[in-house]
Amino acid sequence: MSNAIVESGATVRHGAEEGGPGENGREQLSMQQALNRALDEVLAESPKTLVFGEDCGRLGGVFRITDGLQAKYGETRVFDTPLAESGILGMAVGLAMAGFQPIPEVQFDGFAYPAINQIVCQIGRMNYRSRGTLPMPITLRVPSFGGIRAPEHHGESLEALFAHVPGLKVVSPSNPHEAYHLLKYAATRPDPVIFMEPKSRYWQKDGVDVSHGGSPTGAKVMRPGRHLTLVAWGAMVGRCLQVADLAAEDGVDVEVLDLRWLKPIDAETLATSVRKTRRAVVVHEAPLTSGLGAEVAQLITQGCFDTLKAPVERVTGFDVPYPSGDLEDEYIPNIDRILNGIQRVLEYRRG
């Protein structure tokens, strides 16, 4: 697995000092810093915004995303909770019903399972059940996916589970710029949003234009191409950009599409890209069977059936529980597996 994506060890790293202006006037920030700034600004803009979760207050979160926020806004707006995910999300429901805009955190994606009842039966349904009188403006931050060599239950890929729940919106940023703007947008929505942060990217630094982020909705072309579209989200976008660079050395011009919003999926931008390239490979960390890639592949087939030159390929995790860190290299789609998927699509010939 590429060192650009895999961080060495599972040790949590403290946020570094923010960088100054970089290329094109963008500030050089890590994703951790970009998320922290977004939360800071949302808290400053609305006294109804509350940030809470296990160790989110005084410690600043296990990944330091909330670092310094309690000192700035006080213990009534940024606070620690008991180690009880169902309680954290139940509290968020009550606060939303009382007119607040909660931003709770589940410390690791694998810890979300005990709160599934609250997420599915309350957060996802309350607005529908109350005929619009009780909206759920909750942004649930979930450090997600693998790549940090953590123990079991500290790395999962739950996007298909969340996306299947009516009433929820699901988003996953791929870089610091997207993280900053997508979190600010999600935190002001009247609907519940599951915000899946790729924890292997927390320490990646990149340029962030805090003054302008473009449209925060829909998918985004990260690299234009002619021969094939790679569709990904979260940490796999960075990996696909690496793959596109390698493919270009062999004369294959790959377009990389960052889906960003996993629900609702931007079917129009997806179809526009694939109609141009006429081939597609979907890449994600979750298991193959019933993964979100199946939904993406169906949308591509439905929108591009008359132009496709090959079936949509999927390069994914395997149909096993997400493994602990010592097996991640074998599980997470690596550069060779994605390149092989591209080769299969390019070499496909109808019988």
- Worst-scoring range by mean pLDDT, 212-216, 304-308, 342-346? 212-216
Note the pLDDT of residue 324: 86
| The pLDDT of residue 13 is above 70 | no
Of 3.90.380.10, 3.40.50.920, 3.40.50.300, 2.70.98.60, the CATH number of 220-346 is 3.40.50.920
| The pLDDT of residue 12 is above 80 | no
For the chain, give the mean pLDDT: 92
Three-state DSSP class for residue 168: coil
CA atoms within 13 A on the CB side of 153: 6
Assess whether 181 carries a catalytic annotation: no
What b/e string do you get for 243-279 counting C-beta neighbours within 10 Å, with b at 16 or more? bbeebeeeebebbbbbbbbbbebbeebbbbbbebbbb
Q: What is the dihedral of CA 226, 201, 324, 105, to 10 degrees?
A: -120
Give the full edge-to-edge strand order of the sheet including 49-53: 78-80, 49-53, 101-105, 139-144, 193-198, 169-171, 261-263
d(C-alpha 79, C-alpha 320), whole Å: 36
Is the model more confident about 19 or about 297? 297
Residue 144's nearest CA partner among 126, 161, 119 is 161
What would the pLDDT profile of 111-131 be if each residue is shown by its tens digit?
A: 999 999 999 999 999 999 999
Sorting pLDDT into bands at 50, 70 and 90, what band is 351?
low
Domain spans of the chain?
Answer: 23-208, 220-346
Q: Which of 14, 153, 154, 181 is catalytic?
A: 154
Residue 181's nearest CA partner among 22, 29, 19 is 29
What b/e string do you get for 197-222 counting C-beta neighbours within 10 Å, with b at 16 or more? bbbbbbbbbbbbebeeeeebebbbeb
Q: What is the mean pLDDT of residues 332-344?
A: 97
Instruction: Confirm or reject CATH 3.40.50.2300 for domain 23-208, answering yes or no.
Output: no
Note the pLDDT of residue 4: 31
d(C-alpha 1, C-alpha 309), whole Å: 30
